[in-house]
A and B are shown apart, each in its own frame.
Chain A
């Protein structure tokens, strides 16, 4: 368990809803609804990172979801939202780099603003690859760095400061998904090229 990252997000849990529940969530809700619409009721679904459960309202009904988050404080704050969900959500405090799930346990994995904060994103995505079944789907809503000036310049300048309190702003998550072994299916820019949805699959065995 990465205790430094855990402590950072435990601290952030206190003010997380104040920062994210109104403006950011309203901006991103339409795109998140589209991403989570891929959740299938008959699939075993892994969701990371749960945070305070703000995304739960956007989940389709009656799904079977296992959620993880590195922060116990975040998971505790998510309990009320989990209880209100019409399907099944089990939450565990777990580091994506060190997940205890068996290989090929899940049919689908979903992330929401996660791989801007995972300390080693390619390693974390490889861990997701391990727990997905062959043919399993990865659906992501992520903010990333930009490849376009002047946005790339600003993101690179701000990222060292932003990462002290929250996420990094200049990750190349599309390249990281590919580096972890996934096959890209769809990349959709939601805002500039810095907020995007990514769909990928774990290839079937030969």
Chain B
């Protein structure tokens, strides 16, 4: 579990910014005009693309690669979906962006706590065998 303040605060800020940018972009580009399902799918792809560009192009050198890319992509994916389905105002975009970004981060931190640490080799051997 990441406990260093620089990274915890950086993660939080980065995820809010990325999710807000994803919602803003997909809301401006799609904004519910296409109908619920196509808007959601297109917004999801647009949100992930924006998250990839911001997290790899700007944030990764400061905050790490996988640790910033993973939650930001998740926040971007959901943020893009919201913006694709609904036409949101400026204040709503920020509120949804903050909630989505922090929600994605909390999910990733929780999953990290669940998945982290030493792995049972017998389980890994079984999984690897099943994939052959």
List residues of A whose CB falls within 8 A of some B CB.
18-20, 22-24, 26-28, 143, 147-148, 150-151, 154, 157-158, 161, 172, 174-175, 178-179, 184-196
Q: Are A24 and B60 also in contact (CB < 8 A) when A172-B131, A189-B117, A194-B70 are?
A: yes
> Shortest Cβ distance from A181 into chain B, in angstroms?
13
Stretch at the interface among B15-23, B28-36, B91-99, B119-127: B119-127
Question: How many angstroms between the C-alpha atoms of A161 and B69 in the bound complex?
Answer: 14
Q: Are A191 and B124 also in contact (CB < 8 A) when A19-B60, A172-B131 are?
A: no
Is B65 part of the contact surface with A, judged by Cβ < 8 Å?
yes
B52 touches A178 (CB 8 A): no
List residues of B whose CB falls within 8 A of some A CB.
2, 7, 48, 52, 59-70, 73-74, 77, 108, 111-112, 115-119, 121, 124-125, 127-128, 131-132
The CB with the most chain B CB atoms within 10 A, among A154, A187, A193, A194, is that of A154
- Residue numbers in B under 8 Å from A194 (CB-CB): 66, 70
A147 touches B127 (CB 8 A): yes
B60 touches A23 (CB 8 A): yes
The CB with the most chain B CB atoms within 10 A, among A23, A174, A188, A189, is that of A23
- How many residue pairs bridge A and B at CB < 8 Å? 96
B115 touches A148 (CB 8 A): yes
A23 touches B118 (CB 8 A): no
B124 touches A154 (CB 8 A): no
A175 touches B64 (CB 8 A): no
B117 touches A188 (CB 8 A): yes
A186 touches B62 (CB 8 A): no
B131 touches A19 (CB 8 A): no
Q: Are A24 and B64 also in contact (CB < 8 A) when A158-B52, A174-B128, A178-B125 are?
A: yes
7 pairs of residues in contact across A and B, judged by CB atoms under 8 Å = A184-B124, A187-B121, A189-B118, A191-B66, A192-B108, A192-B116, A196-B119
The CB with the most chain B CB atoms within 10 A, among A19, A27, A174, A194, is that of A27
- Residue numbers in A under 8 Å from B121 (CB-CB): 184-187
> Shortest Cβ distance from B7 into chain A, in angstroms?
7
Question: How many angstroms between the C-alpha atoms of A195 and B66 in the bound complex?
Answer: 8
Minimal Cβ-Cβ distance residue in A for B76:
A154
- Residue numbers in B under 8 Å from A22 (CB-CB): 61-62
Question: How many angstroms between the C-alpha atoms of A189 and B66 in the bound complex?
Answer: 13
Question: How many angstroms between the C-alpha atoms of A174 and B132 in the bound complex?
Answer: 12
- Residue numbers in A under 8 Å from B116 (CB-CB): 189-192
A27 touches B62 (CB 8 A): no
> Shortest Cβ distance from B50 into chain A, in angstroms?
13
Q: Are A157 and B48 also in contact (CB < 8 A) when A18-B61, A19-B60, A28-B64 are?
A: yes
